[in-house]
Structure 1
Amino acid sequence: MDSQAAWRSHKIRHLPIVDSDNNLLGLTTVKNLRQKLQPINMMKWRKVAEIMKTGVIYVHPDDSVRQIARLMADNTISCVAICQTDPKTSLVRPLGIITERDIVQFQNLNLDLRQPARDVMSAPLFLISPDDSLWSVHQQM
């Protein structure tokens, strides 16, 4: 039986909170717990690292929009990061992004799909850390 079911079956509405010596520290209620367990509050405790996808497919800024569209279709992905790799450190630095909506818009505008990604990518990017809370990221989107 979960704690909420136990609270209901015993008609418990308030619980004292004590330390290891049973000294009263505070009190909580069912209402308080429900408020704190709302999805918006859960986002404050969870980190970006918990939901991020790894193994991101990325391309070079000189790759053509046509190549990128093919890559997205072949891999059934909705966006591609445009990145530059540092030759000394092999670190991959994101410069921009192209999404499936961008590809559709380029086609509707009859743009030359041979253009390099650097000319059409969305940039600059807003970057976040894996240690950021989901809530802080949500507020910035």
Structure 2
Amino acid sequence: MLVEKIMKTEVITLPPTATIADGLNTLRENHIRHIPIVNDNEQLIGLVSDRDVKEASPSIFMEENNHHLLKNELQSIMSQPVITVHPLDFVEEIAKVFYDEAIACLPVVSNDTLTGIVTEKEMLYTMIQLTGTNVQSSQIDVKVPHKPGILPEVAAVFGQRKTNITSVLMYPFNDDPNYKILVFRVQTMNPVPLIQDLRDAGYELMWPNNIAEPKL
């Protein structure tokens, strides 16, 4: 999935000369946590978060004469340079950027112009979609040998019962490079027949593994 499919294109921005008071009001009125700072050409030059604004704002316990701090310009507190992504980047890859950099949003830039923004909320919802947990389904985890062609082999078992697969993920089996875990989400609320089919085909189930095999 591409970033352009999930990014917000209606981005609220402010110029660097806007005041901290402007930033505070913008955050509150629009219920957002980040404000990209752009120049007259819509080029991204900085980023201000709600934390930046709060830390730069006077405390309610401070003397009234300290409220002049709200008149300081946002360019005095904005973060720069800003980590950005491109509309044609893959969502799965920018997830690593969120994790590695411990950030909560990524502005999207194309041809030196701000074109959108991706927040951790959009990122999380996209991960939910990619894993298929947003639709009613059952999960089946299958331990398989790590070899070419294993995915269509296992998927064929589901195909024999004409079961719709909503998502497939793969992750390592402990530290053993010879095996992988295939995670299937399938549109059935009764996975028992599929579980038995997989066992009959010789596959080991990691989940559900509490459904006993029928006694002979």
**Which TM-score band applies after superposition, normalised by the shorter structure?**
0.5 to 0.7
Task: Give, as a single letter, the amino acid of the residue that structure 1 aligns with 2:81.
Answer: P
Matched, 1:123 2:80: yes
Aligned to 1:70: 25
Shift in Å, 1:107: 2.9
Aligned to 1:83: 38
Q: In the alignment, which of 35, 50, 54 is matched to residue 104 of structure 1?
A: 54
Matched, 1:94 2:49: no
Kindly indicate which of the two structures has a greater share of residues assigned to strand.
Answer: 2
Which protein has greater RCO, CA pairs closer than 8 Å, 6+ apart? 1
Aligned to 1:49: 4
Stretches of structure 2 that go unaligned for 5 or more consecutive residues are 99-216
Sequence identity (%): 22
Q: In the alignment, which of 94, 98, 101 is matched to residue 137 of structure 1?
A: 94
Shift in Å, 1:113: 1.9
Task: Give, as a single letter, the amino acid of the residue that structure 2 aligns with 1:82.
Answer: I
Measured against aligned partners, the alpha-carbon deviations of 1:18-44 in whole angstroms (never above 9, x if no partner) come to xxxxxxxxxxxxxxxxxxxxxxxxxxx
Aligned to 1:31: none
TM-score of the superposition, structure 2-length normalised? 0.39
Q: Distance in 2 between matches of 1:70 and 1:105?
A: 15
Aligned to 2:210: none
Shift in Å, 1:122: 0.8
Q: Distance in 2 between matches of 1:126 and 1:106?
A: 22
Q: Distance in 1 between matches of 2:40 and 2:85?
A: 19
Shift in Å, 1:137: 1.1
Shift in Å, 1:108: 6.4
Shift in Å, 1:132: 0.2
Q: How many residues align?
A: 91
Aligned to 2:165: none
Measured against aligned partners, the alpha-carbon deviations of 1:61-80 in whole angstroms (never above 9, x if no partner) come to 00001111111111111111
Q: Distance in 1 between matches of 2:8 and 2:86?
A: 13
Kindly indicate which of the two structures has a greater share of residues assigned to helix.
Answer: 1
TM-score of the superposition, structure 1-length normalised? 0.59
Question: RMSD of the alignment, in Å?
Answer: 1.8
